[in-house]
Amino acid sequence: MSANASLPKIAFLGIGLMGKPMALRLLGAGYPLVAWNRTRSKAEELIPQGALVAASALEAVRAAQIVITMLEAGPVVAQVIDAARTGFSADTLVIDMSSTRQSEARALHAELRQQRIGFIDAPVSGGVLGAEAGSLAIMVGGSAVDFARAEPILRSMGRPTLVGPAGCGQIAKLCNQLIVGGTLNIIAEALLLAQAGGADPTAVRSALRGGFAESRLLEVHGERMLARNFLPGGQVKSQSKDLDNVLLAAADAGLVLPLAEHVTQQYHSILAAVPHADQSAILLALEAINPSLRLGTAADRLPE
């Protein structure tokens, strides 16, 4: 699709599992977009859809009014922004859509504010399917002025909500990840209990649909567990990182979250074995402490 010259130019830094479909949504909406990724070939996959590809993060941001980062973790975001910052212009707005710590988002906001550069943290939930469909939940921390400027762009990728000042997007994402991680553990326990008790776990999941236990997680990840399909959407390593950050945020706030601590330990128990598997592979941690039980009969589908 050809770019609309009246729309702001976007530099998209990080064309990974989530970044690629998000960038495609922006290209589909007509935004002029320059892509950069450490592995250049991943960015080049966007060329047929109209993207330009930059050799460096600095080169990517030089003509951009909007800089979007979708990177692995806070230190990587800081490193990439530091490499690119001399290319920012006076009207640049940085939108970090990575999942980082609240303290990292606040620190980056303070640093960029000294350059009079706008910043919002806007982590997402919805996985690869949500990114492809443009239905991501986007949790935004920043000023009302910066949010108003970013909102039309974010709406091309999902549903943005301003939840507070800079850093609060990351807190909202951690709340999301705590609910997701905890619920996946409960779904795994419920399905394994159904099987251990002599019921058909597939039929039990079907019976629960429409009741109070109904959820998107039961629909999508319950099916993944029953099919033993652990090929990645959201990965174990990402969920583990986010849960570690939940505990750090809780400690900063003076909170004790015992369930969060347990869920984090469960993910840590399988992190080394299946770091790139889908987060629904938490089922494997439960089966490891119940070695006489295995959900279903399908062979495990795991990333190589």
Residue among 97, 177, 174 at smallest CA distance from 142:
97
Question: How many Cα neighbours within 13 Å face the side chain of 170?
Answer: 29
Could you read off the pLDDT of 32-54 as tens digits, one per residue?
A: 999 999 999 999 999 999 999 99
Q: What pLDDT score does 1 carry? A: 58
- CA torsion 136-266-287-127 (nearest 10°) is 10
Per 3-state DSSP, what percentage of the chain is helix, strand, and coil (rounded to 5)? 50, 15, 35
- Give the integer Cα–Cα distance in Å for 235 and 28: 26
CA-to-CA distance for 11 and 37, rounded, in angstroms?
11
Tens of pLDDT along the chain (304 residues)? 567 878 999 999 999 989 999 999 999 999 999 999 999 999 999 999 999 999 999 999 998 999 999 998 899 999 999 999 999 988 899 999 998 889 999 999 999 999 899 999 999 988 888 999 999 999 999 999 999 999 999 999 999 999 999 999 999 999 999 999 999 999 999 999 999 999 999 999 999 998 999 999 999 999 999 999 999 888 999 899 989 999 999 998 999 999 999 999 999 999 999 999 999 999 999 999 999 999 999 999 999 8
CATH 1.10.1040.10 for the 171-288 domain, yes or no: yes
Q: CB-based contacts of 295: which residues, under 8 Å, 6+ apart?
A: 188, 191, 192, 195, 201, 225, 226, 228, 283, 287
Q: Which of 6, 122, 124 is nearest to 65 (CA)?
A: 6
For domain 10-165, the CATH architecture is: 3-Layer(aba) Sandwich (3.40)
Residue range(s) of every CATH 3.40.50.720 domain in the chain? 10-165
Residue-level pLDDT at 75: 93
Catalytic residue among 20, 173, 237, 241: 173
In this prediction the pTM is: 0.84
- CA-based end-to-end distance of the chain: 34
Q: Which residue spans of the chain are classified as CATH 1.10.1040.10?
A: 171-288
Q: Tell me the helices (H) and strands (E) count for the chain, helix number first.
A: 13, 9
Annotation says 237 is catalytic: no
